[in-house]
């Protein structure tokens, strides 16, 4: 599932090519993948993209008619920009553009969606307004993390996955950040000291920035807007490596279920 770095890679790529492009036509081949919550059924045909933003794992494509296309890739979604339209399987929504290029929303397992909203409705849309701070932004601080965890009896891993606490982190980067911080995922969040919160806050930032620099993690399905894989899987320390030796100390990595999610950690390096 694409997490913050993967969605940010796509955002940066689309921000280079979409602004100024007009939507010539829109084809929906799976109705549930395209939700139009605005008055205009034909939106966004004829509209010009003005900006490409990201909030957590959401992509927001703004148009000159004050509409926002809110894209969530979920498990297997991809937003592909083809300068020359190509035949692809599992494309659910296509936007033909005025330069002959095509923006295709491809989604094998069909959990993802493109939602058309007025810009005003997007600004007040509960899934967005409830999101916690961006971990690469100024509001993600050791003091914030310390305060946010004081009443949380849940495991710190579970708290990191809570989008209302911090936006954009999923299973990969929760496990990787906790390893980098030397913190065991099962530790109750409220038991973290100020020192541990500082380490974790910084580790989250470093792990996400490193993945961004590597083009994101393509563990299974993730592809960027050009259809290419991210390279970060080579740098993963624990995610997907349960039972393998820790790259730091050689101990066997433990694999447990935590809050319904597979969790991998080093029993020696993480306390
Ligand atoms: Zn270790």
List, for residues 65-112, the tens digit of each pLDDT value: 999 999 999 999 999 999 998 889 999 999 999 999 999 999 999 999
Closest CA to 95 of 104, 85, 83: 104
Q: Report how far ligand 1's centroid is from the alpha carbon of 245 (Å).
A: 8
Active-site residue numbers?
Answer: 2-3, 57, 261
Rounded to an integer, what distance in angstroms lies between the CA atom of residue 35 and that of residue 113?
A: 7
Predicted TM-score (pTM) of this structure = 0.95
Measure 209 CA to ligand 1 centroid, in angstroms: 22
Q: Alpha carbon 49 to chain centroid distance?
A: 21
**Ligand 1 centroid, distance to 182 Cα (angstroms):** 9
pLDDT at res. 36: 80
Q: Does residue 207 contact residue 140 with C-beta atoms inside 8 Å?
A: no
pLDDT of residue 40: 54
d(CA 5, CA 9) in angstroms, rounded, equals: 6
Domain ranges of the chain: 4-129, 142-265
Say if 4-129 and 142-265 have the same CATH topology.
no
CA 107 – CA 91 distance, rounded (Å): 6
Is 142-265 a CATH 1.10.8.50 domain? yes
Distance 246 CA to ligand 1 centre (A): 5
Distance 228 CA to ligand 1 centre (A): 32
Query: Tell me, which fold does domain 4-129 have in CATH?
Result: N-terminal domain of MutM-like DNA repair proteins (3.20.190)
Q: Quickly count: other Cβ atoms within 10 Å of residue 253's Cβ.
A: 24
Conformational region of residue 211, where left means phi above 0, alpha means psi within -120 to 50, and beta covers everything else: alpha
CA distance 117 to 106: 20
CA neighbor of 16 nearest in space, from 45, 48, 46, 52:
52
Q: What is the pLDDT of residues 168-209, one digit of tens each?
A: 999 999 999 999 999 999 999 999 999 999 999 999 999 999
Helices 194-213, 142-149: crossing angle, 10 deg rounding: 120
Whether the per-residue pLDDT at 42 is higher than 70: the answer is no
Query: Whole-number mean pLDDT of the chain?
Result: 95
């Amino acid at each position: 599932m694409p997490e913050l770095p993967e969605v940010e890679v796509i955002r940066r790529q689309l921000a280079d090519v979409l602004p100024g492009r007009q939507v010539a036509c829109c084809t929906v081949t799976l109705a549930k993948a395209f939700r139009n919550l605005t008055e205009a059924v034909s939106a966004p045909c004829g509209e010009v993209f003005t900006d490409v933003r990201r909030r957590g794992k959401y992509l927001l494509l703004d148009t000159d008619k004050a509409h926002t296309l809110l894209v969530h890739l979920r498990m297997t979604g991809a937003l592909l920009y083809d300068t020359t339209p190509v035949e692809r399987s599992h494309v659910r929504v296509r936007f033909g553009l005025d330069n002959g290029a095509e923006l295709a929303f491809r989604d094998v397992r069909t959990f993802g969606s493109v939602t058309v909203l007025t810009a005003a409705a997007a600004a007040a849309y509960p899934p967005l307004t409830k999101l916690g701070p961006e971990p690469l932004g100024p509001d993600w601080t050791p003091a914030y993390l310390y305060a946010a965890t004081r009443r949380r009896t849940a495991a710190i891993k579970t708290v990191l996955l809570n989008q209302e606490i911090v936006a954009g982190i999923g299973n990969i980067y929760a496990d990787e950040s906790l390893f980098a911080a030397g913190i065991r995922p099962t530790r109750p969040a409220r038991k973290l000291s100020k020192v541990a919160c500082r380490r974790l806050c910084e580790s989250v930032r470093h792990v996400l920035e490193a993945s961004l620099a590597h083009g994101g993690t393509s563990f299974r399905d993730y592809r960027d807007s050009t259809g290419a894989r991210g390279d970060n899987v080579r740098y993963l320390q624990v995610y997907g490596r349960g039972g393998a030796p820790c790259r730091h100390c050689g101990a066997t990595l433990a694999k447990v279920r935590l809050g319904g999610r597979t969790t991998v950690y080093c029993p020696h390096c993480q306390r």
